[in-house]
Amino acid sequence: MLPRDLQGQRILTEEATAVPAISPDRARTLVKYELAEGDILLTRTGTVGRCALVTGEHAGWLFHPNLVRLRLPEARRVSATYLIAYLSATTAQDWVTARTAGSVIPSLSLRTLGELPVLVPPTEEQKSIGATLAALDAKIQAHTEIARVTRDYRSLLADALMTGVLPTEP
């Protein structure tokens, strides 16, 4: 998992062939870096602060050293969907930016991240907030995908029309 794969609070990987791979022997030595469903990834260098919730689709994958993995304890006070919503909110993003500004390559240390104040409402409120924002994130993702596919279609259609492969007359 690379920092570029964190987009819109989701993990969006390119084609499988574009995902870096390592040998099974090397992967076995890196088991402590395996992702589990419910983990949260956060970019810690470069475009600091982008975050994503790990789903079952990416469980077992390894994450890049320029990412931080947050793994919530079993008996947790905060839900993963709420925390991802909190970390992507303007207040938290501004807090992170203020602590990474001025560097040639912005970087966020684990110690600094640990100082981020997190407001933790009651469990039911967390679930409601997390679900509402996750639903909006899903809508954003769907519209982004529609726009991407429409752009691709337009490009193909333009080429076909301009080269005469597709006639303009019915």
Q: Where are the domains of the chain?
A: 3-118
pTM value? Answer: 0.76
What is the residue-wise DSSP string for 110-138? HHHHHT-------HHHHHHHHHHHHHHHH
The pLDDT profile of the chain, 170 residues, written as one tens digit per residue, is 677 788 777 787 766 556 667 777 777 778 888 889 989 999 888 888 888 988 888 888 888 888 889 888 876 788 888 999 999 999 999 999 888 866 688 888 888 888 999 989 998 999 999 899 989 988 998 998 999 999 999 999 999 999 988 888 76
Residue in the structure block whose two tokens are 């807090």: 95
8 Å CB contact between 61 and 84: no
Fold for the domain defined by 3-118: Adenine-n6-DNA-methyltransferase TaqI; Chain A, domain 2 (3.90.220)
SS3 35: coil
SS3 30: coil
